[in-house]
Structure 1
Amino acid sequence: MAAAVAVRTAVLGDGRPTLPYAEAGGPDGAPVVLVHGYLDSWWAFEPMLRRMPSALHAYAPTQRGHGDADKPEEGYGPEDFADDLVAFLDAVGLGRAVLVGGSSGGVQARIVAGRRPDRVAGLVLLGTPAELADKPGVAELWERVRTMEDPVDRAFAEEFVRGLTAAPVGRGFLETVIDENLKAPARVWRETLRGLIETDLRATLTGILVPTLVVWGDRDPLLPRTDQQTILDTIPDSRLEVYEGVGHLAYWEAPDRVLRDLAAFTAGVTLPG
């Protein structure tokens, strides 16, 4: 039976944007917050949300500038997203949670884990880069995005999304993801990517002392194994799960396995009773 997925709104206050978020799982389950990556929305985690076991209580916010969230004129660096994430924890009444970062969403998740360990019981990084400035594919993407204007070309958005997986993904789901990507205006495409490239992402790996699970697909077209090894070498209490035959987005291609690993990991960390 598919889990019920409720969509709600979080008012962050203090001049911060209002964010829609999806919620699923058991009301008494361990709190986990799913943090989407570049251009996505909470919909990126829909395959996981509709399978969410009762042992977990998941929250998946759409971040500023993305999907149906507010789109302020500025504030699209990793630090801005990290600050919003702490404000989101406050808004939904979560004292401590496991943060699950998908792709570049793991950057803001790990910033929070390093700076606010009082709010983070554990960290899960799903295909998250150690750094991006050294990736040729990112440089090519930047050349196309830096001069982008509205409206964003749908064919380009589809090309971007389709290149991330090793196995085919359901057409309906893919179309929804593309629709969500296109809700981000060109300036959000540009400034969010600029923030990821210009930030010293390796520095955001330091100071993380919470238990960390790293998930990497061995057919990831963006991230080599050496990139993930950098994460393991920098975060003391970390371990790697390799998904054979899976591309960049394990939470699309192998959501059941991700949930099993997430449930087992969460059961082993200390959360509020």
Structure 2
Amino acid sequence: MAAVTVHRAVLGDGRPTLPYAAAGRPGDGLPLVLVHGYVDSWWIFEPLLRALPAALRAYAPTQRGHGDADKPEEGYLPEDFADDLVAFLDHLGIERAVLVGGSSGGVQARIVAGRRPDRVAGLVLLGVPALLADKPGVTGFQETLRTLDDPVDREFAAEFARGLATDRVAPGFLETVIDENAKAPARVWRETLRGLLETDLAATLTGILVPTLVVWGDQDPLLTRSDQQLILDAIPDSRLLVHEGAGHLVYGEDPDRVARELAAFAGALRG
């Protein structure tokens, strides 16, 4: 089990300062960079970070506007998050990494994989949507957000988080996720979702030539098998792992299994 430490990345050049968690020992192998999704923070990966083998180095930044990161007034398109991700790699001196996107965090991860293949050795998509604008529940949620005010009510954040989790998520961990979700200002809830819905997400799947692992829980209330098939059809070197009985937060429901899968994937890339 890896120990987790927390640091701050001062990206500079007008970019926000981002907290990040690190686990594992620095070494010669490829590091993992874990990219969280909508209104989450690095904490969403805390069980997974602890489950990773100590020999595997991993980093998990909190993205702008989320958790305890800086919260600029603008910059919440997927392209903005992707640019921050490259700046984060630069800050840590990481030449190439395995990018691991959780939920919508996989959108910015795949943007970087497609645009900067020199920086990405492999891509892992954990419960990542191919598309979002085709999902009525998501577009309906956008309407709900029009009246969301600050401070964001914790019960609102709780209803959102619990709607994506199964009873396989540890209750204490879920409470932490809810607390972190509530830290995002109302405008970040609105603008981040607007960016996801107005971006051509199908286009962000093109041009990805790195090996890609797609992990999906078959009880995901948001993503269907056909949605995941769109990813597999678009990325030539991709394969699917199905977690039976798991929901959207597959990496929070069975972190030990996901950690083994990540270690095997990264190990094969090194080979």
Residue in 2 aligned with 1:250? 250
Q: Which residue of 1 aligns with 2:2?
A: 3
Residue aligned with 1:6, SS? strand
User: CA offsets, 1:172-199, max 9 Å, x none?
Assistant: 2111111111111000000000000110
Matches within 5 A, 1:109-258: 109-258=109-258
In 2, are the aligned partners of 1:41 and 1:61 still within 8 Å (CA)? Answer: yes
Q: Distance in 2 between matches of 1:167 and 1:56?
A: 29
Shift of 1:152: 1.1
Look up the equivalent residue of 2:3 and give its one-letter code. Answer: A
Conservation of the 8 A alpha-carbon contact between 1:167 and 1:247: no
Instruction: Find the counterpart in structure 1 of residue 37 from structure 2.
Output: 37
Task: Please state how far the C-alpha of 1:236 moved relative to its aligned partner.
Answer: 0.4
- d(CA) in 2 for partners of 1:55, 1:244: 28
CA shift, 1:270, in A, is: 4.2
What secondary structure sits across from 1:8 in the alignment? strand
Amino acid at match of 2:192: T
Offset from partner CA, 1:68-127 (integer Å, 9 cap, x none): 000000000000000000000000110000000000000000000000000000000000
1:24 maps to a residue whose letter is A
Residues 115-141 of structure 1 show CA distances to partners (whole Å, capped at 9, x for unaligned) of 000000000000000010001110121
TM norm structure 1: 0.97
CA contact (8 A) 1:40 1:66 kept: yes
CA deviation after TM superposition for structure 1 residue 24, in Å: 0.3
In the TM superposition, residue 27 of structure 1 has moved relative to its aligned partner by 2.1
SS of the counterpart of 1:261? helix
The answer on whether the counterparts of 1:34 and 1:60 sit within 8 Å (CA) in structure 2 is: yes
Q: Using the TM superposition, give the Cα deviation of residue 226 of structure 1 relative to its aligned residue in structure 2, in angstroms.
A: 0.3
CA displacement at 1:145 relative to structure 2 = 1.0
Give the distance between the partners of 2:163 and 2:80, measured in 1 at CA: 28
Contact 2:30 2:96 in 1 (8 A): no
Q: Which runs of at least 4 in structure 1 moved beyond 3 Å after TM superposition?
A: none
- Contact conserved, 2:65 with 2:71, CA < 8 A, in 1? yes
- Residue equivalent to 2:17: 18
C-alpha displacement at 1:167, in angstroms? 2.7
Q: CA deviation at 1:52?
A: 1.8
Q: Which runs of 5+ in 1 are unaligned?
A: none
* Distance in structure 1 (CA, Å) of the matches to 2:229 and 2:168: 27
SS in 2 for 1:22: strand
Between the aligned partners of 1:159 and 1:258, the Cα distance in structure 2 is: 25
CA deviations over 1:52-80 (Å, ceiling 9, x no partner): 20231000000000000000000000000
Q: TM-score normalised to the size of structure 2? A: 0.97
Residues in 2 aligned to 1:74 and 1:163: alpha-carbon distance in whole angstroms? 28
Amino acid of the residue matched to residue 187 of structure 1? R
Cα contact 1:100–1:106 (8 A) shared by 2? yes
Q: CA deviation at 1:165?
A: 2.0
Query: What SS class does the counterpart of residue 99 from structure 1 fall into?
Result: strand
Q: Where does structure 2 lack aligned partners over 5 or more consecutive residues? A: none
1:147 & 1:75 partners in 2: Cα distance?
21
